[in-house]
Amino acid sequence: MQILARTSGFLALLSCLAALALVQVNAAVVHAADSGDVDFLSDAYYDEEPETISVYDPLEPMNRAIFTFNDRAYFWVLKPVATGYAHVLPWEVRGCVSNFFNNLQEPVRFVNCLLQARFSDAGRVLARFLINSTGGVFGLADPATRDLDIPPVDASLGQTLGRWGIGDGFYLVMPLFGSTTLRDFSGTVVDALAMTPYYSWSDDFVVNAGIYAEKEVNKISLHLGEYEDLKELSFDPYISLRNAYFQHRMRLRDKDVPFPDE
């Protein structure tokens, strides 16, 4: 039984890692679309791609192979699971789950804002964390945005390293993770390690893996169909999703983080 439990835990962890493959892509697409800076349904977007996006991708053959693997993991595993999950839980409940986990990440954003000398943003992040942790019942609701008009702030160690003048390195597609760069992936690993204390709610590996898998499946369930729409409109989905990632990065740089020219 113990071996079976460990095996189940490993499979749960594998599933939650696989969720990251399209979560990263969906996040880039969703944030860019919400910002109003990028319209993926506009012909102008695709006409302008070669002129506006400059990408160093020396590992493109390998990246394409990994992209194909991640793509199949999404359609064969993650999408069916997330679709069933969405049928069981209403959108309002899934929104509360998303708010809860997003609120847990605010301390990491706060530290990165300080490291980037974005002190006003750091104040907003701290205010959001205190308001949502109390008035939002441990972050299940987001009264900071809804009632007080304090919008979310994006800050990561990858942005911090960019602010310090460290270049991207090169573009990567990581197995069971998705689009990133050498710099951003390094920052993501450190940010994830910083989040570890918040996710250590149990000594049981299966329980922790299940919680993390639920978090990622919940995130995908809120954006079902978006990846499919972008892929359907793309002549080359690999290029389009790579450019969507860098469009999102450009939006963050121009709006929130004045990176040095890279």
* pLDDT tens, position by position, 95-121: 999 999 999 999 999 999 999 999 999
Q: pLDDT tens digits for 145-161?
A: 999 999 999 999 999 99
Q: What is the mean pLDDT of residues 124-135?
A: 96
- Sequence-distant (≥ 6) Cβ neighbours of residue 134 within 8 angstroms: none
- Sequence-distant (≥ 6) Cβ neighbours of residue 93 within 8 angstroms: none
Q: pLDDT tens digits for 2-35?
A: 433 443 444 344 444 444 444 444 444 444 444 4
Share above pLDDT 70 across residues of the chain, in percent, rounded to a whole number: 72
Q: pLDDT tens digits for 243-256?
A: 888 888 877 765 55
Contact predicate 26/217, CB 8 Å: no
- Output the CA angle 163-26-61, nearest 5 degrees: 80
pLDDT bracket for residue 206 (50, 70, 90): confident
- Output the CA angle 83-17-34, nearest 5 degrees: 60
Question: What's the confidence (pLDDT) of residue 133?
Answer: 95
Question: What's the confidence (pLDDT) of residue 131?
Answer: 97
Question: What's the confidence (pLDDT) of residue 35?
Answer: 41
Say which residue, 195 or 94, is predicted with more confidence. Answer: 94
Question: What's the confidence (pLDDT) of residue 83?
Answer: 94
